[in-house]
């Protein structure tokens, strides 16, 4: 076993040494010359049709065709105008090159295709607390576009896979079955390249934020929110590909704080009321999407964080009740009942609260109270789609 | 999950090729009719935007998509399809995007639906272990009668859908293949996979379907493209 491990370590060293050597061979123009710096994409530039980059753009153009007609794309004009506006403040001359698609999707993510198609998941709007934080994410994505990370990554992968193949074949010919080991080294190496891209995008994003007058410290603050949400959630940490391809949040946070010291404008802005005005009406819907993922630890952390900042406390207390009702562990019906009771009458509590309240009252044996809650729900929502179901539930509780 | 399913559908031709090589696939083409319904005086088939992708297979096996090859392959494939059908007394017209945005949106949904149905046919019709109990002895797939609107907008009786993914070894890959042969390591080259299907725009039924899966062929040259189209269109109803 020990022998095998030593051989393994030696092979890994060979492969890891081989990958950069191969990359060096292809990146240089001639012997002894330093590698060319990778140039930014220019405003309204399209890659030459014969280039490898044009192939990536072609695939992205097709993907955009599909995204355009997707039912998941948010059509709300106010949201679209707002997000697009922030992109343009940041992107300046690149504004016209970037198309933003807001996608109704739980969880936080945004992505950039090589051709300027940016997608932003609605779950992100639960994590950003002001416009500057949103700008941090959008600026990061613009960084991927301007720095042409897609083609950089493809070239890196091709180089490394080539080295992987050559080393693998040579070892194979020598009778050493190194397949999985070589592949593992390849994946690790590709991921590390991807993390370098992320660091660069963070930096470009911070510069764009500063240029548009935003408070760059908010980029670091966003990561505080993300870290708080992952607290006690071990499952999430080990499973997510996101954290393999991206640097650790703590590292990004520290780097962004340092950048803020260096770059922040004299009177940095956060635009919190503007941000709230656009998304206030939609938060309940986004929270429902989030709860549908059934990541109760994360969801609880998320509610804890936004409870104090949310101007509609009835929404948060109602959703906390929903979390307990759906988790349905021992004692959760009681906790749900407490949350619903606390939410009742508060700003933002929806009518469905009465239906949920009825369900937990019925579970807890208080049939009369359950019938009353269902009845009130039907009074307030006489045309509710589930009215017939509720009538049956009232009968069952008689 | 949805993304995985979509990726699986997209990878279906490649999977189909793997099964073909492994020997547990059934053979096409499938057809519900040998002849086209020629009641219309000038029968027209609309060629939906062909989904063709050409890429170079690099030394390490990464497929690098080539936009220039793809653009010319689309032209050659369309020309080859046109002359193939002309010889069979059938007119092929290229798809035109409607000016009305609502109609365009609907067409796009039908193209997506066809991609899903085509992927399902490849998985369930060609690969026996996944055969559906209800479709054991018959070929019966439909996009539904909403396709009638597509027929009206395009002035066509049938719609032809074509998907082809084609890859070619890079010079480095070829060198590696030769080297590999010397040291006894088999390194596969490029493959040509895809499918075509004909949909009746009155009923929505898929009336003919054929799969392409071979390790030869070249869509970068007009003559070779014609040869590929001849293979792809085999047993096409006339």
DSSP-assigned letters across all residues of A310-331 = -S-HHHHHHHHHHHHHHH--TT
Q: Which two tokens stand for residue A189?
A: 């190496």
What pLDDT, on a 0 to 100 scale, did the predictor assign at position B38? 81
CB under 8 Å, gap of 24 or more: what pairs does B126-135 form? B126/B16, B126/B19, B126/B20, B126/B25, B126/B26, B126/B28, B126/B211, B127/B15, B127/B16, B127/B19, B127/B24, B127/B25, B127/B26, B128/B24, B128/B25, B128/B26, B129/B24
The contacts of residue A179 (CB under 8 Å, 6+ apart) are: A168, A172
Chain A hits for B53, Cβ within 8 Å: 58-59
Regions of chain B short of the pLDDT cut 50: 1-4
Nearest to A122 by CA among A112, A111, A136, A109: A109
pLDDT given for residue B24 in this prediction: 54
Note whether A162 contacts B60, CB cutoff 8 Å. yes
Q: Looking at A89-226, which runs of residues are DSSP E strands?
A: 99-103, 110-112, 117-121
pLDDT digits (tens, 9 = 90+) for A180-213: 555 566 666 666 768 889 999 999 999 999 999 9
ipTM: 0.81
Tens digit of each residue's pLDDT (9 = 90 or more) over B4-14: 455 555 555 55
How far apart (Å, rounded) are the C-alpha atoms in residues A62 and B6? 14
Distance CA B106, CA A68 (A): 12
At A243 the pLDDT is 66
pLDDT at A315: 95
Q: At what angle do helices A332-343 and A352-363 cross, to 10 degrees?
A: 150
pLDDT at B160: 97
Interface test with B, best of A58, A64, A157 (most B CBs within 10 A): A58
The single-letter DSSP state of residue A236 is: H
Q: In A, which residues are within 8 Å of B108 by CB distance?
A: 65-66, 68-69
Asked if A173 is an interface residue toward chain B (Cβ–Cβ < 8 A), one would say yes
SS3 B75: helix
User: B67 in contact with A at a CB cutoff of 8 Å?
Assistant: yes
Find the helix or strand (DSSP H, E) in which A225 lies: helix A217-229
Using the beta-carbon criterion (under 8 Å), do B108 and A173 form an inter-chain contact? Answer: no
Q: Do B60 and A158 touch (CB under 8 A)?
A: yes
Residue range A282-396 in CATH 1.25.40.10? yes
Residue-level pLDDT at A241? 62
Q: Tell me the pLDDT of chain A (398 aa) as tens digits.
A: 343 433 333 333 333 333 333 333 333 344 445 556 689 999 999 999 999 999 999 999 999 988 998 999 999 999 999 999 999 999 999 999 999 999 999 999 899 999 999 999 999 999 999 999 999 999 999 999 999 998 888 888 888 887 777 766 666 666 555 555 555 666 666 667 688 899 999 999 999 999 999 999 999 999 999 888 888 876 655 556 666 777 788 889 999 999 999 999 999 999 999 999 999 999 999 999 999 999 999 999 999 999 977 778 999 999 999 999 999 999 999 999 999 999 999 999 999 999 999 999 999 999 999 999 999 999 999 999 999 999 999 999 88
Cα–Cα distance measured from residue A298 to residue A230, given in angstroms and rounded to the nearest whole number: 6
**The two three-digit tokens of residue A280, written as one number:** 């206030």
CA-to-CA distance for A43 and A51, rounded, in angstroms?
A: 18
- A86 CA to chain B: closest CA distance, Å? 27
For residue A211, the model assigns a pLDDT of: 97
Chains A, B: CB contacts under 8 A, how many? 71
Span A134-175, pLDDT tens digits: 999 999 999 999 999 988 888 888 888 877 777 666 666 665
- What are the extents of the domains in chain A? 2-263, 282-396
For the beta carbon of residue A191, count every other beta carbon within 10 angstroms. Answer: 13
Neighbours of A297 (CB within 10 A): 15
Rounded-to-integer distance, Cα A390 and Cα A118, Å: 43
Beta bridge partners of B52: B164
Which pLDDT does position A188 carry in this prediction?
A: 65
User: What pLDDT score was predicted for residue A161?
Assistant: 80
CB of B159 within 8 A of CB of B48? yes
Is the pTM higher than 0.90? The answer reads no
């Amino acid at each position: 076993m020990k022998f095998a491990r030593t051989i393994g370590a030696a092979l890994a060293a060979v492969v890891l040494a081989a990958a950069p050597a191969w990359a060096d061979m292809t990146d240089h123009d001639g012997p002894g010359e330093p590698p060319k710096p990778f140039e930014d994409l220019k405003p309204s530039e399209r890659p030459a049709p014969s280039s490898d980059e044009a192939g990536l753009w072609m695939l992205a153009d097709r993907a955009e065709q599909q995204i355009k007609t997707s039912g998941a794309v948010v059509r709300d004009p106010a949201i679209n105008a707002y997000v697009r506006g922030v992109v343009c403040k940041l992107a300046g001359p690149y504004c016209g090159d970037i198309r933003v698609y807001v996608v109704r999707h739980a969880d936080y993510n945004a992505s950039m295709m090589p051709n300027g198609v940016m997608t932003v998941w609605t779950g992100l709007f639960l994590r950003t607390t002001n416009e500057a934080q949103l700008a941090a994410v959008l600026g990061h994505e613009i960084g991927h576009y301007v720095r042409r990370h897609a083609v950089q990554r493809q070239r890196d992968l091709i180089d490394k896979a080539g080295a992987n193949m050559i080393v693998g074949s040579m070892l194979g010919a020598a009778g050493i079955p190194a397949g999985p080991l070589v592949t593992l080294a390849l994946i690790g190496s590709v991921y590390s390249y991807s993390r370098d891209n992320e660091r660069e995008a963070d930096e470009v994003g911070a510069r764009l934020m500063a240029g548009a007058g935003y408070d760059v410290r908010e980029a670091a603050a966003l990561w505080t929110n993300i870290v708080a949400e992952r607290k006690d959630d071990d499952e999430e940490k080990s499973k997510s590909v996101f954290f393999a391809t991206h640097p650790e949040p703590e590292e990004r946070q520290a780097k962004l704080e340092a950048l803020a010291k260096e770059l922040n404008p004299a009177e940095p802005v956060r635009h919190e009321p503007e941000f709230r005005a656009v998304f206030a009406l939609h938060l309940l819907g986004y929270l429902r999407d989030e709860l549908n993922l059934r990541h109760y630890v994360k969801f609880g952390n998320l509610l804890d964080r936004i409870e104090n900042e949310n101007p509609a406390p009835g929404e948060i207390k109602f959703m906390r009740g929903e979390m307990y009702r759906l988790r349905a562990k021992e004692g959760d019906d009681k906790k749900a009942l407490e949350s619903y009771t606390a939410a009742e009458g508060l700003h933002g509590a929806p009518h469905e609260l009465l239906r949920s309240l009825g369900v937990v009252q019925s579970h807890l044996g208080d049939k009369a109270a359950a019938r009353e809650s269902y009845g009130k729900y039907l009074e307030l929502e006489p045309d509710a789609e589930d009215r017939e179901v509720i009538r049956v539930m009232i009968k069952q509780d008689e | 999950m949805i993304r995985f399913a979509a990726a699986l559908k997209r990878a279906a031709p490649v999977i189909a090729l793997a099964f073909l090589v492994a020997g547990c696939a059934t053979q096409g083409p499938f057809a519900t009719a040998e002849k086209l319904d020629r009641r219309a005086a000038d029968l027209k088939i609309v060629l939906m935007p062909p989904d063709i992708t050409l890429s170079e297979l690099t030394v390490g096996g990464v497929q690098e998509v080539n936009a220039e090859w793809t653009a010319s392959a689309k032209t050659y494939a369309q020309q080859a399809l046109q002359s193939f059908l002309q010889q069979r007394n059938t007119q092929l017209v290229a798809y035109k995007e409607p000016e009305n945005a609502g109609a365009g949106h609907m067409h796009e949904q039908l193209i997506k639906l066809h991609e899903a149905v085509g992927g399902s046919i490849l998985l369930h019709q060609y690969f026996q272990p996944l055969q559906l109990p209800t479709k054991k002895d018959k070929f019966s797939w439909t996009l539904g009668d909403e396709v009638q609107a597509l027929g009206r907008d395009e002035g066509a009786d049938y719609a032809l859908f074509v998907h082809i993914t084609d890859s070619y070894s890079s010079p480095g890959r070829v060198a590696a293949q030769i080297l590999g042969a010397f040291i006894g390591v088999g390194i596969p080259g490029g493959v040509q996979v895809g499918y075509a299907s004909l949909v009746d725009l009155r009923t929505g039924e898929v009336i003919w379907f054929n799969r392409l899966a071979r390790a030869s062929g070249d869509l970068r040259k007009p003559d070779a493209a014609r040869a590929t189209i001849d293979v792809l269109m085999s047993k096409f109803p006339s």
